[in-house]
Amino acid sequence: MPTLPFPVTTLPTPLGGTLVHQVNRVSEAELKGLPRLELSERSAADLELLATGAYSPLTGFLGEADYLNVVEHLRLADGTPWSLPITLPVGRAEARDLRGRVVLTRDGTAVGLIDVQEQFEARKQWEAREVYRTEEAAHPGVAALYAQGEINLAGPVTLFEVPRGAFPQHHRTPAEVRAVIEARGWRTTVAFQTRNPIHRAHEYLHKVALELVDGLLLHPLVGTTKNDDVPADVRVEAYEVLLDRYYPQARTLLSVYPAAMRYAGPREAITHALSRRNYGATHFIVGRDHAGVGSYYGTYDAQDIFSAYSAEELGIRILKFEHTFYCQSCAQLVSPRTCPHDASHHLVLSGTKVREKLRAGENLPPEFTRPEVAEVLRRAYQGSGD
């Protein structure tokens, strides 16, 4: 397995001991005559995360033994912590022609290879129940699972070129993020991810964390999300304007995370943390209902689930924060740990309420989000016709 060596460093060892690196150009002649498989947006994102080492120690889409163990025990078959089944689903009829080396395409263009070593039946309802804690198709992750093919292809992958996407200036592989951290001399780095627009409560968490560590890796997820989530380009622009004015530049790194959202709540929080270890973070923030959707998960289930592993196994420290909000009587951002007042004193805006205000052209309160961020959101919603 190709790996990238690391010198003596204060960065955490990648999960499994080495950072997987399977990015390699292949000549057209080598692809001639091979079967082809068009990837979904989510599978294309998984291909990149596998090949660049974000999903280390995985070198490809899971085989059946790993799949079964991950779904049931939150570990690979060899006992390594892992919480989400990273699979490559195809239709039953299509699977018959996908054996041996297969070219992976996106919008018809060859982007990688998989050496198919195994094909196995997806256990969709069981996977939904165990991973998403529901079999309801109303759950977006379950709906996506049910819409997939019945057969999973397994085997190591090769990515031809890292797709820098819509944010080339912020799109870094795990090795590249590690290089920046080392160049800046950060001994400790906290990673933060969100699929939502940044607001003052997020900023509060960031700055509390920065009192404890050397650097902050802001790592917004920019892969596939629900249709009603704020688009990635708007969220990234909001980060840019905020960082420019309110964050210490030398202690902050904005870099995008190309994964697709699965909305698997606690299970997804684990994968988010483990992959940030691979990016070089020593700490990871988990707040209220991380990667949740609707009312499928308890408020702090995504924090509690980490007790399934020892600190040594995780290799990254989890910073657990309670719900943070603006209290009008305290006149500052607080949490239930620091505020004595009841909910009538608190300014809390749901995502639905925020979208309603933006569509109506209303200003968001400065206690909720910085005016510069509110303006980015307002322009996006007014221009979109949403």
Secondary structure (DSSP) of 295-349: TSS-TTHHHHGGGGS-HHHH-SEEEE----EEETTTTEEE-TTT--S-GGGEE--
Question: What was the pLDDT predicted at 104?
Answer: 98
HSE toward the beta carbon, residue 370, CA cutoff 13 A: 19
Contact (CB, 8 A) for 218 and 253? yes
For every residue of 167-227, DSSP letters joined together read -TTT---HHHHHHHHHHHT-S-EEEE--SS---HHHHHHHHHHHTTSSEEEE--B-S---T
- Same-domain pairing of 150 and 183: no
Question: Domain containing 102 — which CATH number?
Answer: 3.10.400.10
Residue with tokens 């707040």, as numbered in its chain: 287
Mean pLDDT of 91-99: 96
In a domain, 121, yes or no: yes
Question: The domain containing residue 341 runs over which residues?
Answer: 174-384
106 flagged as catalytic: no
137-141, 262-266, 369-373: least confident range: 369-373
Strand bridging mode 151-159 / 88-90? antiparallel
Residue type (1 letter), 22:
Q
Residues 181 and 155 in one domain: no
Residue finishing a domain among 109, 131, 159: 159
pLDDT grade, residue 352 (50/70/90)? Answer: confident
The model carries a pTM of 0.94
What pLDDT is recorded for position 1? Answer: 46
pLDDT score of 384: 57
User: Can you tell me the distance from the alpha carbon of 315 to that of 200, in angstroms, rounded to the nearest whole number?
Assistant: 29
Tell whether the model's pLDDT for residue 8 goes beyond 80: no
With 60 as the cut, is the pLDDT of residue 190 above it? yes
pLDDT attached to residue 165: 87
| Long-range contacts of the stretch 139-148 (C-beta < 8 A, 24+) | 139/263, 139/293, 139/294, 139/296, 140/226, 140/263, 140/293, 141/262, 141/263, 141/264, 141/293, 144/42, 144/262, 148/89, 148/122, 148/124
Answer whether 157's CB lies under 8 Å from 114's CB: yes
What does 58-82 look like in DSSP terms, one character per residue? --EE--HHHHHHHHHHSB-TTS-B-
User: Beta 215-218 vs 189-192: how paired, if at all?
Assistant: parallel
- At residue 134, the 3 state secondary structure works out as coil
pLDDT value at residue 9: 62
Measured distance CA(368)–CA(199) in Å, rounded: 6
Which member of 172, 195, 235, 276 is catalytic? 195
**Number of structural domains in the chain:** 2
User: Average of pLDDT values for 14-20?
Assistant: 98
Q: What is the pLDDT of residues 205-255, one digit of tens each?
A: 999 999 999 999 999 999 999 888 888 999 999 999 999 999 999 999 999
Q: Do 375 and 340 belong together in one domain?
A: yes
- HSE-up of residue 57 (Cα within 13 Å, Cβ side): 16
Catalytic residue among 42, 129, 196, 359: 196
| Out of 40-49, 275-284, 377-386, least confident range | 377-386
Q: Does one domain contain both 140 and 285?
A: no
* SS3 state at 19: strand
In a shared domain, residues 128 and 256? no
**73, part of any domain:** yes
Tens digits of per-residue pLDDT, 277-297?
999 999 999 999 999 999 999
Q: Are residues 178 and 117 in the same domain?
A: no
Q: Is 337 a catalytic residue?
A: no
> Are 372 and 265 contained in the same domain?
yes
User: Which of 105, 132, 159 is where one domain is finished?
Assistant: 159
- Quick: pLDDT tens for 70-85: 999 999 999 999 999 9
Condensed to tens digits (0 to 9), the pLDDT of residues 194-204 reads 888 888 999 99
Q: What is the helix (H) or strand (E) element at residue 92, kind and residue range?
A: helix 92-95
pLDDT > 70 in the chain, percent:
97
Single out the residue in 136, 159, 182 at which a domain terminates: 159
